[in-house]
């Protein structure tokens, strides 16, 4: 179970300050100010790295360490045969747990469209149903395999989300990934 007490919710300037502290980039306090303008914009470079690091976290870190919201009210479903089509909500980075009202259980493992399991969904005898539902994740939309009778209702659509206010929300344990990410950061970001 996740410990929400250790979640951080930082704005951009707080995140920049924390990143500098973790990377040991803070200058020691002195009672003078020195400025020059022929170097690189260190804050701008660090903000680029922060955004890349956070985007990678949202896509790959364990979901319980990231902001999760139920976006079911933002999804409009359509039916095509035995498939229920759901466009991915705009704020959804990746799905975590989805469930149609008629299903007997939620889906927490989403199928890659090229996987063998996804191909099995094309056969009426091996496709998911109310007892063993399956969802194929195309990124921009999700195909829910169901014996949809009538108008399907989305009961749950929990997703890892990028916070709407632009803040950085994550579990404090993920701070330990900053130095490792920094050492393997894309070289294009350094230019």
Please write the tens of the pLDDT for every residue from 35-94: 666 667 788 888 999 999 999 999 999 999 999 999 999 999 998 887 899 999 999 999
How many domains is the chain partitioned into structurally? 2
Same-domain status, 178 and 153: no
Distance CA 102, CA 146 (A): 9
Q: Examine the domain organization and report whether 40 and 59 are in the same domain.
A: yes
**156 and 73 belong to one structural domain:** yes
Residues 56 and 21 in one domain: yes
Counting beta carbons within 10 angstroms of the beta carbon of residue 154, is it exposed (0 to 12), middle (13 to 18) or buried (19 or more)? buried
Co-location of 89 and 32 in the same domain: no
Give yes or no for residue 181 having a pLDDT over 90.
no
Tens of pLDDT, residues 89-98: 999 999 999 9
23: left (phi over 0), alpha (psi -120 to 50) or beta: alpha
Whether 185 and 149 map to the same domain: the answer is no
Both structure tokens of 152: 């399907």
What domain range is 112 assigned to? 68-161
How do residues 139-169 score in pLDDT, each as one tens digit?
999 999 876 667 889 999 999 999 989 999 9
Tokens of 144: 């829910």
Neighbours of 74 (CB within 10 A): 16
> Are 73 and 155 members of one domain?
yes
Question: pTM (2 decimals)?
Answer: 0.81
Both 132 and 81 in one domain: the answer is yes
Assess whether 27 and 41 both reside in one domain: yes
Locate all alpha helices (DSSP H) within 80-143, ordered by sequence. 116-120
Q: Are residues 83 and 154 in the same domain?
A: yes
- Do 60 and 98 have their domain in common? no
């Amino acid at each position: 179970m996740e410990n929400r007490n250790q979640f951080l919710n930082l704005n951009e300037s707080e995140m920049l300050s924390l990143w500098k502290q973790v990377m040991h980039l803070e200058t020691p306090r002195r009672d003078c100010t020195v400025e020059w303008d022929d170097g690189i914009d260190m804050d701008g470079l660090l903000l680029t790295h922060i955004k890349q690091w956070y985007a990678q976290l949202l896509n790959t870190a364990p979901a319980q360490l990231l902001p999760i919201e139920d976006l079911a009210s933002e999804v409009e479903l359509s039916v095509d045969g035995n498939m229920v089509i759901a466009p991915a909500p705009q704020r959804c980075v990746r799905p975590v747990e989805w469930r149609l009202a008629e299903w007997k259980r939620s889906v927490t493992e989403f199928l890659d469209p090229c996987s063998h399991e996804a191909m099995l969904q094309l056969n009426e005898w091996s496709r998911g149903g109310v007892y063993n539902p399956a969802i194929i994740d195309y990124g921009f939309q999700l195909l829910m395999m169901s014996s949809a009778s009538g108008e399907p209702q989305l009961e749950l659509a929990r997703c890892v989300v990028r916070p709407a206010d632009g803040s950085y929300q994550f579990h404090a344990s993920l701070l330990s990934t900053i130095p490792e990410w920094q050492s393997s950061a894309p070289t294009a970001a350094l230019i």
